[in-house]
Amino acid sequence: MNGWMAHLSFSRMFQTSNTVVTLSGYRYSTEGYRDLSDVIGLRAVGAAQWNSATYMQRNRFHINVNQPLGKWGSMYVAASTGSYRNGRSDDNNLQLGYSKSFGNGVSVNFALARQRIGASQTNNPIPAPMLGDARENTAMLSVSFPLDGSALARPGHVAVSAVHSANRGEQVQATYSGVQAHDDSLSYSVTASHGNDGSKSSLAANAQKRFNNATLGVNASRGSGYWQLGASTQGAAVVHSGGLTLGPYLGETAALVEAVGAEGARVWGGVSGRVNDNGFVLVPSVIPYRYNNITLDPQGMTGDFDLLASEQRVAPYAGSLVRLKYQTRAGGQC
């Protein structure tokens, strides 16, 4: 079976009112076109039992309007509709939202949503609630605010959200998160949730520590009738003319800093790290097509060397690994 899909997007900002209108999707699909997820689902359970939001879809239209309100915050309207070829009625979605951020770090978000999922007219044996044929009205309120920090940690951040669904009841979730102030190498969060929609109560916690050569993480969660513990590790290795340099991870665009003799110097810019005994350190993530300031801090240097320059600016191509060489001089030399 063969098919094709065409997608059109458009965005415009009206300068007089700062209104942003985004036509983020008009999509047309021929009868033979299938998304990858639909291909996998059809092969797994067959056409008689498979259904999804994109299966046999003919058209989909989505528009979003965002309107800043100055000191009063901002609001948005989002709407979408989709039609199908297999006798399924249309899907329709409408969402209204408002957000406001205050100078003390407090932010408030409120949203109302109405959703209609069309029912399939096929002889699919899956019960109707799984196929659609449902209308859902939802209201959501979220508030986030910082807490006072200490000498060892930045201010923690609290986010509380409540969701009311006409069909599924209420769910409340609260999260506390923070990072270590010195170099942002330690992050952590604790989340508690409770709902009368069948999800009941749960508690989850996780922490992640970034070292010079790897990133380690631990997580735990507990809910009604279950508990879970987990651990993870992540790292990167870059082979270059100067040897092998390890890092906590490797992003799409990165930088390799060379500063022979500056062992122990800390690099700032993107993610911090320290120069190793070979004179290299990996900056695992930098922003492409923009100037990044990569700074070496001599505090912590263990060798008898001086940095002749401590900062460079680089605007790399996306997907590149740039090499930055910092000149050093042995102590006492002129």
- Residue whose structure tokens are 């969660």: 221
Cβ-contact 208, 187 below 8 angstroms: yes
CA atoms of 115 and 99, how far apart (whole Å) = 21
Cβ-contact 184, 203 below 8 angstroms: no
Q: Are residues 251 and 176 in the same domain?
A: no
DSSP 245-292: EEES---SSEEEEE-TT-TTPEEESSS-EE--TTSEEEE----TTS-E
Q: Are residues 50 and 80 in the same domain?
A: yes
The parent domain of residue 70 ranges over 1-120+132-140
1 assigned to some structural domain: yes
CA atoms of 11 and 63, how far apart (whole Å) = 10
CA atoms of 12 and 216, how far apart (whole Å) = 43
136 assigned to some structural domain: yes
Q: Are residues 97 and 4 in the same domain?
A: yes
Q: Are residues 243 and 267 in the same domain?
A: yes
Res 161: pLDDT: 96
- Residue whose structure tokens are 């740039």: 322
What are the φ/ψ torsions at residue 39 (nearest 5 degrees)?
-60, -45
Q: Are residues 230 and 245 in the same domain?
A: no
CA atoms of 213 and 265, how far apart (whole Å) = 15
126 assigned to some structural domain: no
Q: How many domains does the chain have?
A: 3
Res 281: pLDDT: 92
Q: Are residues 295 and 226 in the same domain?
A: no
> Among 210, 205, 157, which Cα is nearest to 186's?
210
Q: Are residues 201 and 261 in the same domain?
A: no
Res 133: pLDDT: 58
One-letter amino acid of 83: S
Q: Are residues 95 and 186 in the same domain?
A: no
pTM of the model: 0.65
Q: Are residues 5 and 136 in the same domain?
A: yes
Taking the chain (334 residues) in consecutive chunks of 10 residues, what is each chunk's mean pLDDT? 77 82 74 79 76 77 90 92 80 93 90 82 43 77 82 76 87 91 81 79 93 91 91 93 90 92 84 86 91 89 84 92 91 57
125 assigned to some structural domain: no
CA atoms of 267 and 88, how far apart (whole Å) = 58
Tell which of 105, 140, 175 closes a domain: 140
Q: Are residues 166 and 213 in the same domain?
A: yes
Which residues lie below 8 Å from residue 43, measured CB to CB, with a gap of 6+?
Answer: none
Tell which of 190, 213, 234 closes a domain: 234
Q: For strands 200-210 and 215-223, give the pairing.
A: antiparallel
Tell which of 234, 249, 280 closes a domain: 234
Res 142: pLDDT: 96
Res 182: pLDDT: 67
Q: How many CA atoms lie within 13 A of 205 on its CB side?
A: 1
